[in-house]
Amino acid sequence: MSPTAPRAPGRLLRALPVPTGPGVLDLLPVLADALAGRSDTAWHPHAAGAAPHPALRTGEPLAPGEDDPDDPTAFAVATSGSTGTPKGALLSAGALRASADATAARLSAPTAGTTAGTGREQWVLALPAHHVAGLQVLLRSVRAGTEPVVVDTTGGFDPAAFAAATAARTAPRLLTSLVPTQLLRLLDAGGEATAALAAHDAVLVGAAATPAPLLARARAAGVRVVTTYGMSETCGGCVYDGRPLDGVAAHVRDDGRLELTGPVVARGYRGLPAHPAFRTAPDGTRTFRTDDAAEVRTDGDGTLVRVTGRLDDLITTGGLKVAPALVEEALAAAPGVAEAVVVGAPDPEWGERVVAAVVPLPGTAPALAQLRAVVRERVAAHAAPRQLLLLDALPLRGPGKPDRAALRALATRSRPGGERPVTDG
């Protein structure tokens, strides 16, 4: 082709409606072709009954740089949009295969090449499959050569349905992926629901930070919990229990921002060429710059990553910085606290005040003074919350992520005398 010849149009990006019930299994042949790199189209998975995300421009060809004939783009997965408008992470077939194989290796299952068609490993799908974590459950099943058991979440997550799905297993090894809220509900349900959790060889828990008391409670019940960290841009979880998957490298920039490098990193964002979050080395190795602050160190077992929170969630109160993740960790261990999220709200005196949104344990009502004392002792005096929101449930977005924007708005309008239970100090 001469330099002035027109470029042939790229493969189309098409919408892929994804149901929440057993009908999702009808998509397995499509997913298998995409994972193998033999599909003549790329796909944007979205919730059935909802429109595709307009920013992903389904029905239009992939642009130059958004595809590669040697490693075709399989999916454009919408991000959670926690820092603004959701974007479409372009996940190649090779990146998804690398993610599935690294997960199988980390969970001590045989590699995908030896399990295909043997039926040794089975996943339980309990997450929406248009989000990357749920999609990965399906893709890992395809890679392992087994059919997943589907929990019908059309009417919401039901612990009894999870237990029934677990009982329907047909393979010796059982795996699932959950968000912390689901883990909490299954433990609270007790009985068959908790027994179903304990029957899994691994329960991946991600999308949001899992409070240490919840982890301890799950492990005391015999649940083999594996905490995961990742995002759509890294094909989902790529750090398990603080350890990067094989082939994944983590390092922290001078500004404290975590970067992840390896074969699981997305090609980029749909319609956003040369986005600064991505860079590609001359040898083709891709790096993604996250929006999270972290600490990375090396010990006798390799690299250990500790994520301390999103950089844009940092609270500046009285001129001092507060990392919400550290305060949330302290609050989660306080008496009477089932769940806690910390945000900053505008304050005329402090610039921002630290706000604790707490779901109390049944029959309890933690007091602000009590929680402030816990945070002073475990974190720092300036990090102690000055406002407390007692809620029946945390507002969520996506697959189990706390909606911090909604909590900031609630804290801003909920002053003493408001409609919600609020205490100020």
Q: Which residues of the chain have pLDDT under 50?
A: 1-8, 83, 110-118, 416-425
Q: Quick one: pLDDT at residue 413?
A: 82
Burial of 222 from C-beta contacts in 10 A (0-12 / 13-18 / 19+): exposed
Q: Quick one: pLDDT at residue 419?
A: 32
Q: Which residues contact 282 (CB under 8 A, 6 or more apart)?
A: none
Which residues pair with residue 281 across a beta bridge?
A: none
The 10s digit of each residue's pLDDT in 94-148 is 999 999 999 999 997 544 444 433 458 899 999 999 999 999 999 999 999 999 9
- Cα separation, 173 vs 206, in Å, equals 20
For strands 401-402 and 396-397, give the pairing.
antiparallel
Structure tokens at 307: 């994520």
Residue 175's nearest CA partner among 228, 232, 114, 122 is 122
Structure tokens at 99: 């993610």
- Cα separation, 10 vs 13, in Å, equals 9
Single-letter code of the amino acid located at 15: A
Q: Quick one: pLDDT at residue 255?
A: 85
Contact 325, 340 (CB under 8 A): no
Q: Which residues of 63-94 are buried (b: 16+ CB within 10 A; e: fewer)?
A: beebbbeebbbbbbbbbbebeeebbbbbbbbb
- Cα separation, 317 vs 323, in Å, equals 11
Q: Quick one: pLDDT at residue 113?
A: 42
Structure tokens at 130: 């248009």
Q: Quick one: pLDDT at residue 81?
A: 58
Q: Which residues contact 255 (CB under 8 A, 6 or more apart)?
A: 311
